[in-house]
Amino acid sequence: MAQLWGGRFTKETDALAYAFNASISYDKKLYKQDIAGSKAHAAMLGKQGILTEEETKQILAALDEILEDVSSGKLEITEEHEDIHSFVEAVLIQRLGDAGKKLHTGRSRNDQVALDMRLYIREEAVELDRLLRKLLETLLKIMETHTKTILPGFTHLQKAQPITLSHHMGAYFEMFKRDRQRLFDLYERMNYCPLGSGALAGTTFPLDREYTAKALGFYGPTLNSMDGVSDRDYLIELLSALSMVMMHLSRFSEEIIIWNTNEYQFVEIDDAYSTGSSIMPQKKNPDIAELTRGKTGRVYGALISLLTTMKSLPLAYNKDMQEDKELTFDAVDTAKGCLALFEGMLSSMKFLEENMKKSASRGFTNATDAADYLVNHGVPFRDAHGIIGRIVLYCVEKGIAVEDMSLEELRRFSDCFKEDIFEAVSMEACVNKRLTIGAPAKEAMEAAIKKEKEYLEQNPQIGICV
């Protein structure tokens, strides 16, 4: 295959070197973006009188045809071309002859690929945002339904204080909300068009960069052509945002895996989202949660990989940057897959409320509240802490809960205890007395839910704010 750059060469490229250099096997994914960029460039060249009206028309029509033929499968992207840019140009020339040869005027593959990647990320950011939003909506539904569903809250994976399922889900709501905000931020920063940066130093042709930027939906053109072709910050920001999404999903997965164990039985994963064992008939495994937890490593890997590739690269374009593609594509597809499946698993999951409540009341999760009761009856907190500690020890030895003790037994530890202690340390009271902003009481939770709903209404989608 003759190369775009064959003129200066007297010898064919070594076959292995050619294969090593080529990116078509994976950058063919960018054909739509490449054609959209080429169309904007051609229209601009026409407007500036660099192409004739006739040439412009022919090129635009041929690019549309190529897009249609590739999309329908009529035209195959074959590996004899070095990359997607060479492929589109070669087909254009094949179909149009000399007019096709003019498309690359004032353009380099360096600004072309920089543009393609931004267009790709922009689209994927919108899709990732949609998936995150869907997950938030599912979480919100659970939050609304379960303001009274009590379960133990943990520290050190030890039962700590009772909370509600609504409150627990609300913590994840906050995490995924921040993930959306990170996507939004990087979208805002990267939505500038590098087309027209040329190889590195712009071009001598009178390109209208404002025009192409606008035609392609960017806020404007990038302001330095060296940076335009060599900036990959937005990819690193995306991979970092996705690493955070995966970290959140993996924490959530870990909890679901624990909740799904025989020992906990807080949830039942729907059959559609679990699998069995080939040998043990009784098994129903939380594979989706485990795979999500496992795939987190791939996305972190992509981030570290690209950071390392970009480290010490001199200005401007270097071929090292071609390494940005496979890992970004993989990380984006992985995160999208995990988000979609996780949402499906979560929305179909059954919460076993009785087991949750029983677990909360069997773990002395009301010990803090019992101490607070004594404080309210004039006992200094440190003394109250000691008294309740001794009561817990007593209960552990007898295998009972604090609320199983009689008033008489309780009064052996402190005569401040009155009949109302039982109500004061009930799971419901423990939760519903926690009324500060962000706390689990039903009232506090309802106020938080209202705010989260407003957030969803005001932020329907990336790029659109109301």
List, by residue number, the catalytic residues: 156, 277
Give me the long-range contacts of 319-325 (CB less than 8 A, separation at least 24): 319/21, 321/230, 321/232, 322/23, 322/113, 324/117, 324/232, 324/235, 325/23, 325/26, 325/27, 325/29, 325/117
Could you say which of 45, 51, 113, 151 contacts ligand ARG (CB under 6 A)? 113
Residue 109 in contact with ligand ARG, rule: CB under 6 A: yes
Segment interacting with ligand ARG (CB under 6 A) among 106-114, 163-171, 182-190, 448-456: 106-114
Segment interacting with ligand ARG (CB under 6 A) among 241-249, 317-325, 349-357, 401-409: 317-325
Which of 329, 320, 309, 130 minimizes the C-alpha distance to 239?
329
Which residues, other chains included, contact 163 with Cβ-Cβ below 8 Å and sequence gap of 6+? Answer: 150, 151, 152, 153, 431, 440
Could you say which of 265, 322, 348, 426 contacts ligand ARG (CB under 6 A)? 322
Residue 89 in contact with ligand ARG, rule: CB under 6 A: no
Which of 466, 455, 447, 445 minimizes the C-alpha distance to 180?
455
Could you say which of 55, 83, 124, 343 contacts ligand ARG (CB under 6 A)? 83
Determine the 3-state secondary structure of 285 from DSSP.
Answer: strand
Which residues, other chains included, contact 376 with Cβ-Cβ below 8 Å and sequence gap of 6+? Answer: none
Residue 147 in contact with ligand ARG, rule: CB under 6 A: no
DSSP string, 344-394: HHHHHPEE-HHHHHHHHHTTTTTHHHHHHHHHHTT--HHHHHHHHHHHHHH
Could you say which of 110, 212, 230, 260 contacts ligand ARG (CB under 6 A)? 110
Residue 23 in contact with ligand ARG, rule: CB under 6 A: yes
Q: Which is nearer to ligand ARG, 230 or 253 (CB)?
A: 230
Kindly list the distances between the CA atom of residue 212 and the CA atoms of 16, 168, 381, in Å, as whole numbers in the listed order: 37, 47, 69
Strands (DSSP E) along 113-240, which ranges? Answer: 150-155, 158-164, 192-193, 220-221
Q: Min. distance of Cβ 321 from ligand ARG in angstroms?
A: 5
Q: Min. distance of Cβ 196 from ligand ARG in angstroms?
A: 16
Segment interacting with ligand ARG (CB under 6 A) among 48-56, 318-326, 348-356, 413-421: 318-326
User: Which residue in the shown chain puts its C-beta closest to ligand ARG?
Assistant: 322
Q: Min. distance of Cβ 82 from ligand ARG in angstroms?
A: 7
Residue 115 in contact with ligand ARG, rule: CB under 6 A: no
Q: Which is nearer to ligand ARG, 110 or 253 (CB)?
A: 110
Residue 51 in contact with ligand ARG, rule: CB under 6 A: no
* CB half-sphere exposure, 240, CA atoms < 13 A: 12
- Give the pairing of strands 350-351 and 158-164: unpaired
Q: Which is nearer to ligand ARG, 143 or 321 (CB)?
A: 321
| Residue 42 and residue 103 in contact, taking contact as beta carbons nearer than 8 Å | yes
Q: Which is nearer to ligand ARG, 109 or 118 (CB)?
A: 109
Q: Min. distance of Cβ 31 from ligand ARG in angstroms?
A: 13
Q: Min. distance of Cβ 452 from ligand ARG in angstroms?
A: 41
Query: b vs e for 109-133, b when ≥16 Cβ sit within 10 Å of the residue's Cβ?
Result: bbbbbbbbbbbbbbebbeebbbbbb
Burial of 142: CB neighbours in 10 Å, binned 0-12, 13-18, 19+: buried
**Nearest-angstrom CA–CA distance, 50 and 205:** 8
Binding-residue pattern over the window 214 to 243 for ligand ARG, x denoting contact by CB under 6 A? ------------------------------
Q: Min. distance of Cβ 111 from ligand ARG in angstroms?
A: 9
Residue 321 in contact with ligand ARG, rule: CB under 6 A: yes
Determine the 3-state secondary structure of 40 from DSSP.
Answer: helix
DSSP string, 234-279: HHHHHHHHHHHHHHHHHHHHHHHHHHTSTTT--EE--GGG-B--SS
Q: Which is nearer to ligand ARG, 108 or 147 (CB)?
A: 108
**Nearest-angstrom CA–CA distance, 192 and 221:** 5
Q: Min. distance of Cβ 186 from ligand ARG in angstroms?
A: 20
How many Å is the Cα radius of gyration of the chain?
Answer: 30
Q: Min. distance of Cβ 160 from ligand ARG in angstroms?
A: 51
Task: Give the interface size with ligand ARG as a residue count (CB under 6 A).
Answer: 9
Q: Min. distance of Cβ 30 from ligand ARG in angstroms?
A: 9
Which residues, other chains included, contact 362 with Cβ-Cβ below 8 Å and sequence gap of 6+? Answer: 401
**Nearest-angstrom CA–CA distance, 178 and 189:** 17
Q: Which is nearer to ligand ARG, 109 or 180 (CB)?
A: 109
Binding site for ligand ARG (CB under 6 A): 23, 27, 83, 109-110, 113, 319, 321-322
